[in-house]
């Protein structure tokens, strides 16, 4: 049975999509069978892994709103061992359309359960909100990975996220654990980065991944080429650190 990891933080621009795409691709690179699940209406993980949105017939919207089976939505990517459930802007309506429906919080969980045996890992890229899409992701997952950007106010908003995690644990998914906190976009030239690392470690202690993601220009270029970093520039620092993260995730079990 595959392990399902939600990459969540309601703040935008903290590295959720970069982490989802590159953790997924690096897990695939080391031989794991991986499903990337795009649950953000912006569809950045979808385009970032090289899927043309114009070519997407069915997307995550059809799974959540129209009960289409996951197997009919899954697409292969150019990366060996890596499949994706894509998202398009159509998903923007789902949050509202789901409100009056039965079992609205467990739709993703049910859909992924049907394909869980085909994968070692599923990585879910969440939108920058704590609405029904993120609730679906947390309800479907075994663990949540929280990217935290190394900047001022890094911890701001995290209590809301942790509160949502607790509510999901209490009412919808008692098995959900915090997989880990990932420090992202570290600028090693500044003292600020070091301060933030200390602060986050004080708060989350052994939940913080040993791997820290630095700012790396190649990581920001790769999505416009529709490639994960391990394909776009396998020798870059970005590729090295996301490979380290993938290994850490595997070792953590
Ligand atoms: P989120 O999904 O949380 O909104 P993204 O992963 O899209 O965040 O990252 C926000 C922006 O920062 C994107 O333009 C992305 O390319 C860039 N970025 C993310 N991580 C890094 C990094 N380690 N180094 C440089 N740029 C990064
Ligand atoms: Mg994103």
**Domain map (residue ranges) of the chain:** 3-252
pLDDT reading at 1 higher than 80? no
pLDDT reading at 99 higher than 90? no
Which pLDDT belongs to residue 156?
87
CA 177–ligand 1 middle distance (angstroms): 25
Between helices 237-252 and 16-29, what is the axis angle to 10°?
70
For residue 8, the ligand closest to its alpha carbon is 1
CB of residue 224 inside a 6 A radius of ligand 1: no
Q: Where are the beta strands (DSSP E) in 89-131?
A: 121-125
Rounded Cα gap, residues 22 and 44, in angstroms: 12
Rounded Cα gap, residues 74 and 46, in angstroms: 12
Helices (H), 85-236: 94-97, 107-113, 132-140, 158-171, 191-204, 217-221, 229-232
pLDDT reading at 82 higher than 90? yes
Confidence band for 192, pLDDT divided at 50, 70 and 90: confident
What is the rounded average pLDDT of the residues 70-90?
97
pLDDT in tens, 7-53: 999 999 999 999 999 999 999 999 999 999 999 999 999 999 999 98
Q: Measuring from atom 10 of ligand 1, which residue has the nearest CA?
A: 13
What is the share, in percent, of the chain residues with pLDDT greater than 90? 87
Q: Measuring from atom 16 of ligand 1, which residue has the nearest CA?
A: 220
CB of residue 82 inside a 6 A radius of ligand 1: no
pLDDT in tens, 143-154: 999 999 998 888
CATH architecture of 3-252: 3-Layer(aba) Sandwich (3.40)
CB of residue 16 inside a 6 A radius of ligand 1: yes
Q: Measuring from atom 24 of ligand 1, which residue has the nearest CA?
A: 215
CB of residue 150 inside a 6 A radius of ligand 1: no
CB of residue 213 inside a 6 A radius of ligand 1: yes
Give yes or no for a contact between 125 and 40, defined as CB atoms under 8 angstroms apart: yes
User: What is the rounded average pLDDT for all residues in the chain?
Assistant: 95
Would you say the C-alpha torsion 245, 210, 205, 252 has a positive or negative sign? positive
């Amino acid at each position: 049975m595959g392990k399902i990891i939600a990459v969540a933080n309601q703040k935008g621009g903290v590295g959720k999509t970069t982490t989802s795409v590159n953790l997924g691709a690096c897990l695939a690179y080391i031989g794991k069978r991986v499903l990337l699940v795009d649950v953000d209406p912006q569809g950045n993980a979808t385009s970032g892994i090289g899927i043309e949105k114009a070519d997407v017939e069915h997307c995550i919207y059809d799974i959540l709103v129209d009960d289409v089976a996951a197997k009919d939505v899954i697409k292969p990517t150019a990366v060996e061992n890596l499949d994706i459930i894509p998202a398009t802007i159509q998903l923007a309506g789902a949050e509202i359309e789901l409100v009056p429906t039965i079992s609205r919080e467990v739709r993703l969980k049910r859909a992924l359960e049907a394909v869980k045996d085909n994968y070692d890992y599923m990585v879910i890229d969440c939108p920058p909100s704590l609405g029904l899409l993120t609730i679906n992701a947390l309800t479907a997952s075994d663990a949540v990975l929280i990217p935290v950007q190394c900047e001022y106010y890094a911890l701001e908003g995290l209590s809301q996220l942790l509160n949502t995690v607790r509510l999901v644990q209490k009412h919808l998914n008692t098995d959900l654990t915090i997989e880990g906190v990932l420090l992202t976009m570290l600028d090693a030239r500044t003292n600020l980065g070091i301060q933030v690392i200390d602060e986050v470690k004080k708060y989350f202690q052994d939940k913080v991944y040993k791997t820290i993601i630095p700012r790396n220009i190649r990581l920001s270029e790769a999505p416009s080429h529709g490639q994960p970093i391990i394909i776009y520039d396998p020798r870059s620092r970005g590729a090295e650190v996301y490979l380290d993260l993938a290994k850490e995730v595997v070792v953590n079990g």
